[in-house]
């Protein structure tokens, strides 16, 4: 039986990655879709593990060839996208694909796969709580945090376009709710 697709989108600091990592440890035959990017690897990142690292020229030629399910040029020559071949390889193995994508990419993947995909939006309890989480992470400068909060306000406007919205006010509760939602979807 071919696999299904689960799309996660959320503002930075909503707990999306933590929830996805929790789900990957459950017995759901979930495999993470590795995205492509035109940025250089950071630290110990490896090609095909964290990302498929392509040059901007390679990325553009793959766009022209129709190789991407969705993509975005975030900054000049800084692309991120989902390769169709990555998704099809996971699905053909009978596994379920998990995506961690921005809101526009999430909406595009959902449109492409329709009912075979479940789109999940992880929402913080409020913008104030989100700001607090970003500050407490201690990984970003104040101006970066403010940029992320502004972007979050825009991203939150997309929540109604997703199949399910899960408010992450208490992590364990959000994880449990997400797990139950995913199990129901996969059983259909």
Q: Each residue of 51-95: pLDDT tens digit? A: 999 999 999 999 999 999 999 888 899 999 999 999 999 999 999
How is the chain split into domains, by residue range?
Answer: 5-187
pLDDT tens digits along 4-21: 999 999 998 899 999 999
Q: What is the pLDDT of residue 75?
A: 81
Q: What is the pLDDT of residue 55?
A: 97
Contact 40, 52 (CB under 8 A): no
Contact 162, 120 (CB under 8 A): yes
* 184 pLDDT higher than 80: yes
Nearest to 160 by CA among 121, 104, 130: 121
Report the percentage of the chain scoring pLDDT > 70: 99
pLDDT bucket at 188, cuts 50 / 70 / 90? confident
Give mean pLDDT, residues 31-43.
93
Which of helix, strand or coil describes residue 72? strand
- Any idea which of 23-37, 80-94, 137-151 has the lowest mean pLDDT? 137-151
Q: What is the CATH number of domain 5-187?
A: 3.40.50.300
Nearest to 135 by CA among 27, 13, 16, 49: 13
Give mean pLDDT, residues 109-113.
95
DSSP state of 70: E
Which H helix or E strand runs over 154? Answer: helix 142-156
Nearest 5°: CA angle at 8, between 10 and 92? 160
Rounded Cα distance, 24 and 22, in Å: 6
* 2 pLDDT higher than 80: no
* 139 pLDDT higher than 90: no
Q: Quote the distance between the C-alpha of residue 159 and its chain's center.
A: 14
Q: What is the pLDDT of residue 1?
A: 61
Residues near 11 by beta carbon (within 8 Å), at least 6 away in sequence: 123, 124, 130, 148, 151, 152, 155, 156
Q: What is the pLDDT of residue 168?
A: 96
Q: What is the pLDDT of residue 9?
A: 96
Q: What is the pLDDT of residue 138?
A: 84
Tokens (6 digits) for 87: 């998704």
């Amino acid at each position: 039986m071919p696999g299904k697709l689960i799309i996660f989108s959320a503002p930075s600091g909503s707990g999306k990655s933590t929830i996805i990592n929790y789900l990957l440890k459950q017995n759901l035959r979930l495999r993470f879709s590795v995205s492509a990017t035109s940025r250089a690897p950071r630290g110990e990142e490896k090609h095909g593990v964290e990302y498929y690292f392509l040059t901007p020229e390679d990325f553009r030629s793959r766009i022209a060839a129709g190789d991407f399910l969705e993509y975005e040029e975030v900054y000049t020559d800084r692309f991120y996208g989902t390769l169709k071949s990555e998704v099809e390889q996971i699905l053909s193995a009978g596994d379920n694909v998990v995506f961690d994508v921005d809101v526009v990419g999430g909406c595009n993947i959902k449109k492409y796969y329709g009912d075979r995909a479940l789109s999940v939006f992880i929402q913080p309890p409020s913008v104030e709580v989100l700001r607090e989480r970003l500050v407490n992470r201690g990984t970003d400068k104040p101006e970066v945090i403010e940029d992320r909060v502004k972007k979050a306000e825009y991203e939150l406007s997309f929540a109604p376009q997703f199949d399910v919205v899960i408010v992450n006010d208490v992590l364990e509760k959000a994880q449990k709710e997400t797990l139950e939602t995913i199990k129901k979807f996969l059983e259909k």
